[in-house]
Amino acid sequence: MMYPLQRNRRLRSSSSLRNLVREFEIYPKDFIVPLFIVEGENIKEEIPSMPGYYRMSLDLIEKEVALLWELGLQSVLLFVKVSDTRKDNKGTEALNPEGLMQRAIQTVKRKVPEMVVMTDVALDPYSSYGHDGIVEEGIIVNDATVEVLSQMAVSHAEAGADIVAPSDMMDGRILSIRKGLEAAQLVDVGIMSYGAKYASSFYGPFREALDSAPGFGNKKTYQMDFGNRFDAVVECQRDLDEGADIIMVKPGIAYLDILHELKQKLHCPLAVYQVSGEYAMLKAAAEKGFVNYELVMLEQLMAFKRAGATLIASYHAKEVALFLNNEA
């Protein structure tokens, strides 16, 4: 059949028709809200390269999560900024049952028990070298790191985390974490693996937020080479085989092809992380008046859904929930 029997514009002719036939929608419940946490009281520090995003102390985090929940957001991903005096090569502080992360998990769970609490599992915020693993003679050693990551995940789970999210890209960590959780009888704690995490320059503002930039070299011996696609499929399938429950792709907009391919090949919930550099770029362009901030934001978030994401970790989560609540 051809023109004029088939007209592409027919179903676009009114807003109600467009609403009826639209395949994808964005809801507040799709989002994972990253939170940056610092020691102290009544602290709310703006991150210079992430305008409108803050590091907060636990008393303010408590208020924040209550507000997020009211907006329909149902999940947070916790990151802590650790003081230099508590950093070492082995990430000892990461295992402290009274550590900032452990207290943060308890604080959120106490305030909003239904909130899904996810935690970043990696050594970099705790590492004196700013690397995701233990360093020996300039090398990031895999197996010794995996041992610590497993203990760290168990420590988060014991504090009340629902899902641990290893972002380190060491080999075998999912199996080791799963075994650790099983041995501790924390069988219902899930693992969201940052399985397709690329060695990306889009992480710059995040490393400023946590003061966690690598002190030497870069992360290319463990994070993926962005010249590869097959790597993502192979590694994420291995993570699922090792016991991961959710797979994450990171960064977001520059990696939609990866998301789409994983959606075809894996049968699990897929998450995407729209990272700090992506947020910073949109803020900067909007501040200059070059683009419409909210509309570009929504268009990018919709692209994640279309490409195959079920969950979206994004610094826009609160703004978008406010926007969607106002629309309704």
Give me the residues that bind ligand PBG (CB under 6 A), please: 120, 122, 124, 132, 167-168, 203, 206-207, 219, 275-276
Whose tokens are 């027919």? That residue is 10
Distance of alpha carbon 102 from alpha carbon 79, whole angstroms = 11
Of 239, 241, 160, nearest to 195 (Cα)?
239
DSSP-derived letter for residue 85 is G
Nearer to ligand PBG (CB atom), residue 91 or residue 180 = 91
Length of the chain measured in residues: 328
Distances in Å between the Cα of 273 and the Cα atoms of 13, 29, 291 are: 34, 15, 22
Distance of alpha carbon 192 from alpha carbon 194, whole angstroms = 7
Nearer to ligand PBG (CB atom), residue 207 or residue 238 = 207
User: Minimal CB distance to ligand PBG: which residue?
Assistant: 206
Least distance CB 275 / ligand PBG (angstroms):
4
Least distance CB 32 / ligand PBG (angstroms):
12
At 170, list the tokens: 């060491």
Nearer to ligand PBG (CB atom), residue 156 or residue 219 = 219
Catalytic residue among 87, 90, 250, 318: 250
Least distance CB 189 / ligand PBG (angstroms):
19
Catalytic residue among 197, 219, 283, 305: 197
Least distance CB 143 / ligand PBG (angstroms):
18
Distance of alpha carbon 58 from alpha carbon 130, whole angstroms = 24
Nearer to ligand PBG (CB atom), residue 102 or residue 276 = 276
Nearer to ligand PBG (CB atom), residue 173 or residue 305 = 173
Least distance CB 125 / ligand PBG (angstroms):
7
Q: CA Rg, the chain, in Å?
A: 20
Q: 200 φ, ψ to 5°?
A: -120, 145
Distances in Å between the Cα of 252 and the Cα atoms of 7, 200, 255, 259, 278 are: 34, 11, 5, 8, 8
Whose tokens are 């609403």? That residue is 19
Distances in Å between the Cα of 78 and the Cα atoms of 27, 124, 209, 294 are: 21, 14, 13, 25
Nearer to ligand PBG (CB atom), residue 72 or residue 204 = 204
Q: Which amino acid, 312?
A: I
Told to judge if 109 belongs to the known catalytic residues of this protein, a careful annotator would answer no
Least distance CB 136 / ligand PBG (angstroms):
19
Told to judge if 288 belongs to the known catalytic residues of this protein, a careful annotator would answer no
Q: 72 φ, ψ to 5°?
A: 95, 5
Give the residue numbers marked as catalytic: 197, 250
